[in-house]
Amino acid sequence: MPAQAAAADDAAATVAASAGTSWAETMRRKFDLETYTARLTTQLPALRTTAAARGADEAAALKAETDAQAVMDKAVATERTMYARHAGAKNAAKLAKKALVAAKKQKPASKTRVAKATAAVKKADDLVKSRAVIARTSTATLTLTRTRHAAAAKKLAAATTAHDTAVKTVAYAEKRIASWPKDRAALAAQATELSEAVVTQARVKYSTTQVYGVTVNRVVAFSFQRMIDDAAKAGVKLSGGGFRTREQQIALRKSNGCPDVWTAPSSSCRVPTAIPGRSLHEVGLAIDMTSGGSTINTRKSAAFKWMAANAGKYGFVNLPSEPWHWSITGS
């Protein structure tokens, strides 16, 4: 075989070999995203309530910070005024002391004048002392208001962060919920696109497992189990017949009266039955669905109606001529 042809065959085999894994992973992502979106949808009212509450907390914190700022500004102004008055008292005391010195030097000496000047000095010194106390008190008050404002500002920052986080959480949830239909369609389309390659892979190599007693290809096992579980939650009991060996397919062809096991078309049998080697049952990718122990052989049944409405979510498509037959390609 030419090297280029061999390389092309190897590439095709690699694509086919990865198809089953990709299909299964795509379906798992779809289910996980569906579950996550449903949870967000349930949580959204509470998330909105939380965002509103955090908004109210932020508004209250802003008011408290604004009030604390106003008190602090007033304390700053008061301190400035008190220290200005203290400075004025100190200047007045200096002038009183100069007046006392002048009174003592004045001739003729006057005890009365000196006594008045001495009294004025004492009064001025007392005023300096009292205003110094008031000034120090204003400083202490300002320090306290600054501490309270810092605490209020810290609470406001925390409230703002909490509100912003809550708002972003709501926005994310709303965006995620809104994008779900588009994401779901994209993942479903991706799985559909892979389905033929999955069949190609299975024709070469596959493995099976059991899901509630039904033998299926491992690629579809998770999706099939999810479908059975969800149907049960909806009150519809589903089961079916999945994998068949080549021998079982030959025996079924014979029992269904096919004119020739190997060449007669499926439609020529009493019950449509694929030629051995062509049935997806032989690779575990098709299931003949049953409900309550009976084959789903009519489209009027509750089980078929549920399947028709929901099976596509799990990657299964009906063969139009057989209400019971579902596979990942519809064949």
In this structure, the answer to whether residues 40 and 166 fall within a common structural domain is yes
CATH code of residue 142: 1.10.287
Residue pair 221/273 in contact by the 8 Å Cβ criterion: no
In this structure, the answer to whether residues 43 and 125 fall within a common structural domain is yes
In this structure, the answer to whether residues 168 and 251 fall within a common structural domain is no
In this structure, the answer to whether residues 235 and 132 fall within a common structural domain is no
Per-residue pLDDT reduced to its tens digit, 284-320: 999 999 999 999 999 999 999 999 999 999 999 999 9
pLDDT tops 80 at residue 8: no
Quote the CA–CA distance of 256 and 272 in Å, as a whole number: 8
Residue range(s) defining the domain that contains residue 59 = 36-191
Residues in the chain: 331
In this structure, the answer to whether residues 82 and 135 fall within a common structural domain is yes
In this structure, the answer to whether residues 53 and 141 fall within a common structural domain is yes
**Is residue 110 in a domain?**
yes
Q: How confident is the model at residue 281 (pLDDT cuts 50, 70, 90)?
A: very high
Quote the CA–CA distance of 303 and 216 in Å, as a whole number: 20
In this structure, the answer to whether residues 131 and 274 fall within a common structural domain is no
Give the distance, in angstroms, between the CA of residue 190 and the centroid of all CA atoms in the same chain: 23
Strand-pair category, 286-291 with 322-327: antiparallel
* Measured CA distances, 309 to 176, 316, 317 (Å): 24, 11, 11
Q: Report how many domains make up the chain.
A: 2
- 119 is written with which tokens? 């009294």
CATH code of residue 288: 3.30.1380.10
Per-residue pLDDT reduced to its tens digit, 188-211: 999 999 999 999 999 999 999 999
Per-residue pLDDT reduced to its tens digit, 232-243: 999 999 999 999
In this structure, the answer to whether residues 167 and 57 fall within a common structural domain is yes
Domain boundary among 141, 170, 191: 191
In this structure, the answer to whether residues 264 and 215 fall within a common structural domain is yes
